[in-house]
């Protein structure tokens, strides 16, 4: 391959790939993570509930989500559901699949984080007159948040990379853009390495955000 051509191709394809990241990968990851976290908190609280049916439902959900491949979940929603009359566009299909998936994984992280807060914190919250709900919101969850930042960051970083699977259900995102340029130019090695590089840069940024968040949340902990 002519060096000049490779460099030119790299720079000229960076535009569409970056755009794919900005329009596809990043918003997809952000929206799915936000929805997934809400779902996860709900599932974690259900799982911790004393009512057996609530914790049973959450347990079942988590088991199914973690026990089946994300790609299969994505295909069930996008290619499977239409056969029973449910047609969802690529983007919402991807958001649903990723949110459901994040919900299952993050639920266990949040549950463990809530359980890691010492019993005495609940008791002190009750002692000053708080209800269970108020204690959870003002005393327990803020402390659980600190503990769950590292594992949730892992979940988020995995999610960013997993959004590449959405290319298989026709979502225009980073990897699909790279694939298209690759197919056109036949420069597979270059384009796929370029895609990998862009994912890596995004994740480097996320790690920096994680570090800042941890520093902020660690301000009340002895070092």
Partner 1 sequence: MSPTEPFPTDDVPSLPVPAGPSDTDEVLLSVRGLRKSFGDNEVLRSVDLTVGRGRVLALIGPSGSGKTTALRCLNGLEVPDGGTIALGSGDRHVALDFAARPSRRQLAALRDRSAMVFQHYNLFPHKTVLENVTEGPRVVQRRPAGEVRTEALALLERVGLADKRDVYPFQLSGGQQQRVGIVRALALRPQLLLFDEPTSALDPELVGDVLGLIRELAVEGWTMVIVTHELQFAREVAHEVAFVDGGRIVEHGEAGRVLREPQHERTRQFVHRLLHPF
- How far apart (Å, rounded) are the C-alpha atoms in residues 175 and 166? 9
CB 149 within 8 A of CB 213: yes
Report if residue 220 touches partner 1, rule: CB under 8 A. yes
Coil, strand or helix at 173: coil
In the DSSP assignment, the letter for residue 136 is I
Which of residues 120, 133, 186, 204 is near partner 1 by CB under 8 A?
120
Binds partner 1 (CB under 8 A): choice among 18, 115, 134, 168: 134
Region from 2-10, 94-102, 137-145, 185-193 binding partner 1, contact rule CB under 8 A: 137-145
Q: Rounded to the nearest 5 degrees, what angle is found at the Cα of 123, between the Cα atoms of 117 and 126?
A: 120
Give yes or no for residue 123 binding partner 1 (CB under 8 A).
Answer: yes
- 49 touches partner 1 by CB under 8 A: no
Q: Please give the Cα distance from 112 to 135 (Å, whole number).
A: 17
CB count in 10 Å sphere of residue 203: 15
Q: Is 51 in the site for partner 1 (CB under 8 A)?
A: no
Size of the site for partner 1 (CB under 8 A): 21
8 contact partners, CB below 8 Å, separation of at least 6: none
7 binds partner 1 (CB under 8 A): no
Nearer to partner 1, 68 or 131 (CB): 131
Task: List contacts with partner 1 (CB under 8 A).
Answer: 118, 120-121, 123-130, 134, 138-139, 142-143, 146, 219-222
């Amino acid at each position: 391959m002519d060096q000049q051509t490779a460099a030119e191709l790299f720079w000229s394809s960076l535009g569409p790939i970056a755009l794919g990241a900005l329009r596809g990968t990043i918003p997809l990851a952000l929206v799915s993570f936000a929805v997934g976290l809400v779902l996860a908190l709900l599932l974690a609280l259900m799982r911790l509930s004393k009512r057996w049916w609530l914790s049973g439902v959450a347990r079942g959900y988590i088991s199914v989500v973690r026990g089946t491949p994300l790609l299969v979940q994505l295909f069930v929603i996008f290619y499977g559901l239409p056969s029973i009359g449910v047609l969802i566009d690529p983007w919402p299909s991807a958001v649903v699949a990723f949110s459901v998936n994040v919900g299952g994984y993050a639920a266990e992280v949040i549950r463990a984080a809530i359980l890691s807060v010492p019993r005495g914190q609940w008791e002190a919250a009750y002692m000053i007159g708080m209800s269970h709900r108020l204690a959870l919101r003002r005393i327990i969850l803020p402390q659980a948040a600190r503990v769950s930042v590292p594992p949730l960051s892992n979940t988020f970083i995995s999610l960013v990379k997993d959004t590449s699977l959405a290319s298989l259900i026709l979502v225009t995102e980073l990897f699909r853009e790279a694939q298209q340029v690759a197919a056109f130019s036949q420069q597979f090695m270059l384009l796929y390495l370029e895609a990998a590089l862009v994912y890596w840069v995004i994740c480097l940024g996320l790690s920096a955000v994680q570090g800042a968040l941890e520093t902020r949340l660690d301000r009340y902990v002895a070092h």
